Amino acid sequence: MDWITIIALLVAGIILVIIEIIFVPGTTILGIIGVALLVFGIIVGYSKFGPQTGTFILICTVLLGGGAILFSFKSGLWQRFSLKNINTGKFNEDIKIEHLLGAEGVAVSALRPYGKVEIYDSVYEAKTLGNYLEPGTKIRVTNIDKDHKIYVEQIKS
């Protein structure tokens, strides 16, 4: 029963660490739990079977875990789970906005520096030239570039 417990802890730990590395990179709860299971399994091995067997379990865990991670990257096994599509959409690209140059409106969201503005009862994505504007601030369109980016500035009262 002791061997089954140790093997189950180690296998679960390795699986969680691989899931962490492949699917949710960064330090998340899965990686932390996986490492904790690995450490706990090794500690149980040392306490139940002594230092020689515990060291053997430690070496086997490092080799098997490293090998599993290396295999998962080298084999391309995880490629079928990866996102292959690229988002090529742009904001404001399907509407005519040249008539907005010089128009006045109001910031619907905070502009830091991007945000939403309302001009002529329509909402557009806009950018300031570095200033942060709060929602409700009166704005004026100062520039529209070839990529349909709308640049605004605050109207001084």
Alpha-carbon torsion 73, 76, 79, 84, what sign?
positive
User: 29-45, pLDDT tens digit by residue?
Assistant: 888 998 999 999 999 98
User: 142-156, pLDDT tens digit by residue?
Assistant: 998 887 889 999 998
pTM of the shown model? 0.48
